[in-house]
């Protein structure tokens, strides 16, 4: 069904295909078309690109920050910020994790801030969770407090962490 739809979509856009062919021989039209096409192409692959994966034998000491998706199977000692963050069953995170969509299958020692937070049955979280929506499966181990906020990502929640750490 998808190939039929794509064939149908290709017919209305034959202008784009020859333009793409024209762009290969001519460098000037290529740049002109890449400008408008680049934002669309950049936006589309973000949703289609596979997440970055930190394997189970990897240990990271330091903060990790990305606008993309990340899956962690190893150990991280530091804060993590990502769009979609998946903590694998073998993973251990010691630090704050922040993301739009957070799925915890492993162990987190620290604060969790996310628009959507999901603790699976194998999750072990020791720390506070600040969320817009949350799901905690039966069997998940959680020690801390849960607080709902409309915008947990840009909240002064980190400021609450700073004074105890500074003391």
Structure tokens at 38: 């680049």
Do the domain assignments include residue 160? no
Considering the domain architecture, whether residues 147 and 78 belong to the same structural domain is answered as: yes
Count of domains for the chain: 2
The whole-model pTM stands at: 0.65
Considering the domain architecture, whether residues 57 and 100 belong to the same structural domain is answered as: yes
Considering the domain architecture, whether residues 96 and 125 belong to the same structural domain is answered as: yes
If you write DSSP's letter for every residue of 113-146 in order, what string do you get?
Answer: EEEEEEE-TT-EEES-EEEEEEEE-TT-EEES-E
pLDDT tens per residue, the chain (167 residues)?
444 444 444 444 444 444 444 444 444 444 444 444 444 444 444 555 788 899 999 999 999 999 999 999 999 999 999 999 999 999 999 999 999 999 999 999 999 999 999 999 999 999 999 999 999 999 999 999 999 999 998 865 444 444 444 44
Considering the domain architecture, whether residues 36 and 84 belong to the same structural domain is answered as: no
Considering the domain architecture, whether residues 19 and 57 belong to the same structural domain is answered as: no
Considering the domain architecture, whether residues 89 and 102 belong to the same structural domain is answered as: yes
Do the domain assignments include residue 14? yes
- Assess contact for 148 and 131: CB atoms under 8 A: yes
Considering the domain architecture, whether residues 111 and 83 belong to the same structural domain is answered as: yes
Considering the domain architecture, whether residues 42 and 85 belong to the same structural domain is answered as: no
Considering the domain architecture, whether residues 83 and 96 belong to the same structural domain is answered as: yes
- What percent helix, strand, coil does the chain show, rounded to 5? 30, 35, 35
Do the domain assignments include residue 32? yes
Domain containing 139 equals 52-153
Considering the domain architecture, whether residues 90 and 141 belong to the same structural domain is answered as: yes
Considering the domain architecture, whether residues 128 and 88 belong to the same structural domain is answered as: yes
Structure tokens at 104: 């915890």
Give the per-residue pLDDT at 159: 44
Beta pairing, strands 64-65 & 80-87: parallel
Structure tokens at 56: 């189970």
């Amino acid at each position: 069904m998808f190939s039929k739809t794509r064939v149908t979509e290709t017919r209305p856009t034959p202008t784009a295909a020859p333009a793409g062919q024209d762009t290969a021989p001519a460098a000037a039209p290529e740049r002109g078309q890449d400008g408008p096409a680049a934002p669309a192409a950049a936006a589309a692959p973000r949703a289609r690109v596979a997440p970055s994966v930190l394997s189970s034998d990897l240990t990271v000491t330091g903060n990790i920050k990305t606008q993309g998706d990340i899956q962690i199977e190893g150990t991280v000692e530091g804060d993590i910020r990502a769009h979609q963050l998946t903590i694998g069953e073998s993973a251990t995170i010691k630090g704050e994790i922040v993301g739009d969509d957070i799925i915890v299958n492993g162990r987190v020692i620290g604060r969790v801030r996310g628009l959507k937070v999901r603790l699976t049955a194998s999750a072990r979280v020791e720390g506070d969770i600040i969320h817009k929506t949350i799901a905690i499966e039966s069997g998940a181990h959680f020690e801390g407090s849960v607080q709902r906020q409309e915008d947990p990502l840009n909240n002064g929640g980190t400021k609450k962490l700073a004074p105890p750490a500074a003391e």
